[in-house]
Structure 1
Amino acid sequence: MTDTVNHSEIFDRKRRRIVRDRAYARAKGDDFFSRIMAEEILERLDVVKRDFRRALVIGLPARQLEDELRARGMTVLSADSSSLLARAQGGVICDDDRLPFADHSFDLIINIGSLDTVNDLPGALVLSRRILVPDGLMLAALVCAESFTSLKSILMAAEEDRVSSHIHPQIDVRTAGDLMARAGLTMPVADSDQLRLNYSELGRLISDIRDVGGSNILSGGLSSIGRKVYKKVLSLFRAQAAADGKFAESVTLLYLCAWAPHPDQPKPARRGSGQVSLSTTLAGKGKRQPDG
């Protein structure tokens, strides 16, 4: 099946599948950033005071997460646009905004490192709400806005008046919270964690981005970095390194938590009151057990 051309979409769906296939072939979802996100999501899941039975895992770290969730007694299905991952896991090949599951199919959805490259993010969140049972939980992690600012800066300087996008736009915390609420998810919480990293090699930094599926998948054709520009980037990388030869970079990871609606849930506090903490949301005070 071929995609219908849609020029309003920011990401090229075919290119996205290729990039995620390559990322999975390189790291099997056990890359640096995915590992951090997966471990944090599992720690947050440990706080939830209830049992889950049917889980959907979306993202490149599906293999590691499936093992952990099955050890907790869950039936788990994986999904991703990467055909390599889906075949390896016996999962489903699909995009996050085209989830092919019936309403109320799962009581837990975990999405790692995938929502930041979805064409229709509001639609993806609505679909997540629909396929969750009432009072089902969605946990997600993704690379947030204001990430890789140092690398973006030296890329712009190296390309001078011919600047191209090599890292896709990313979502910020406030927007993520608003989108979850608009999608009809309840008690939404979005928070972030900034990583301050030091790289001694430019290739290692680029590899970490590729391993998490962060290569350019923007619609409108690719703009590769030529040899001349790459040499400039490398020179700037070394020039901006500290005395120990390390180049400082920052990456912000965004974590999302929300529930599918249910009448027995606590009523949300007034927006901006700061009365609902992440721990309260995860604890699921007043939650019921899943059906079936």
Structure 2
Amino acid sequence: MRAPRSACDAPRYIIDDMVEDVIERLAFLRIEPPAALVVGDWTGELAKSLRSLGASVSEAEPADGFDIERPYPHGGFDFVASLGVLDTANDLPGALIHIRNALSPRGMMVASFVGAGSLPVLRSAMLAADGERPAPRLHPQVDVRAGGQLLQRTGFADPVIDSRPLRASFRSLDALVADLRAMGLGNVLANPGPPLGKAALDRARAAFLSEGEHGRTVETFEILTLSGWRPG
């Protein structure tokens, strides 16, 4: 389970990007759902936007105990948004089925999370740090192809899968790691690799800085978005 995140303290560039994307999708499709569920948006901005359209909105936060891998306690939602949480599900097909079952017939789901193309510079820095014995520093992530297969497997109609890059620059490896921890995006493996020693950490820091210029290194987050409808 990811640690709780504070809307006052945690960087918001990833969740803000996801919220903005959902709002744009609904506007493009001219959807104003009467009843909606928002999972994972700890900023509250998406719920606020949906309420401005007249929706009755329920909110759930896994960091506060909401279990995305169990049947949802309520159903009949016209729209469910899941933001930034599905990438850590042990049973991702099961989690998607629970979302589908929480929807009313012809209800729509949009699920966004950090995908497999994320953090290439950090991955390279960790390999440089570990040398000939690389450790599991990042948990497995989903790519676009797997996302499409998941939607078909879990019974969503008219599935759409896409991804987009979100880039941010950092002055140091430590600054990136601090952001990841604050946003709850750190390694959630049950058996993560051993801590880096001082020499290995120095190698990682140097490798990270070598990928940048003018004192800043650009890192990429791939935002994967799955959308589909409950048949009805």
SS at match of 2:200: helix
Distance, in Å, in 1 between the alignment partners of 2:173 and 2:143 is: 26
1:203 aligns with 2:174: yes
Matched residue type, 1:223: P
TM superposition shift of 1:27: 5.1
Deviates more, 1:225-234 or 1:162-171: 225-234
Match of residue 226 from structure 2: 256
Matching residue of 1:48:
29
**Letter aligned with residue 101 of structure 1:** P
What's 1:269 paired with? none
Residue aligning to 1:39:
20
Contact 1:29 1:62 in 2 (8 A): no
8 A contact 2:124–2:207 mirrored in 1: no
Identity across the alignment (%): 32
**Mean CA deviation greater in 131-140 or 191-200:** 191-200
1:222 deviation in Å?
A: 5.9
Aligned residue identity for 1:53:
P
Report if the CA contact (8 A) 2:72-2:102 is conserved: no
Q: Distance in 1 between matches of 2:221 and 2:183?
A: 13
> In the TM superposition, what whole-angstrom CA distance separates every residue of 1:28-83 from its partner, at most 9, and x where no partner exists?
67622111111111111112233311111111435222211111111111112212
Cα distance in 1, alignment partners of residues 162 and 38 from structure 2? 20
User: Which consecutive residues of structure 2, in runs of 5 or more, have no partner in the other structure?
Assistant: none
User: Residue type matched to 1:127 in 2?
Assistant: H
For 1:94, the equivalent position in structure 2 comes to 66
Q: 1:275 maps to which residue?
A: none
Q: Does 1:142 align with 2:113?
A: yes
Inter-partner Cα distance in structure 2 for 1:69 and 1:227: 48
CA contact (8 A) 2:6 2:42 kept: no
- Confirm whether residue 183 of structure 1 aligns to residue 164 of structure 2: no
TM-score (norm 1): 0.73
SS at match of 2:226: strand
Structure 1 spans left out of the alignment, 5+ residues: 1-15, 84-92, 263-292
Q: Is the 8 A contact 2:76 2:104 kept in 1?
A: yes
Aligned to 1:20: 3
CA RMSD in angstroms comes to 2.0
8 Å CA contact 1:168–1:217 kept in 2: the answer is yes
Task: Measure the CA separation in 2 of the matches of 1:180 and 1:251.
Answer: 22
Task: Give the number of aligned pairs.
Answer: 232
| 1:136-285 correspondence to structure 2 within 5 Å | 136-220=107-191, 223-242=194-213, 244-262=214-232
Question: What does residue 65 of structure 1 align with?
Answer: 46
Q: Is the 8 A contact 1:112 1:142 kept in 2?
A: yes
User: 2-side partners of 1:69 and 1:30: how far apart?
Assistant: 23
Kept after mapping to 1: 8 A contact 2:7/2:43:
no
Structure 1 residues 26 and 156: alpha-carbon distance in aligned structure 2, compared to 1, 3 A threshold: farther
Measure the CA separation in 1 of the matches of 2:73 and 2:160. Answer: 25
TM-score by length of 2: 0.91
Aligned AA (2:224):
L
Partner of 1:122: 93
CA distance in 2: counterparts of 1:132 and 1:51, whole angstroms: 15
Structure 1 residues 163 and 133, CA gap change in structure 2 (3 angstroms): same
User: Displacement, 1:219?
Assistant: 1.6
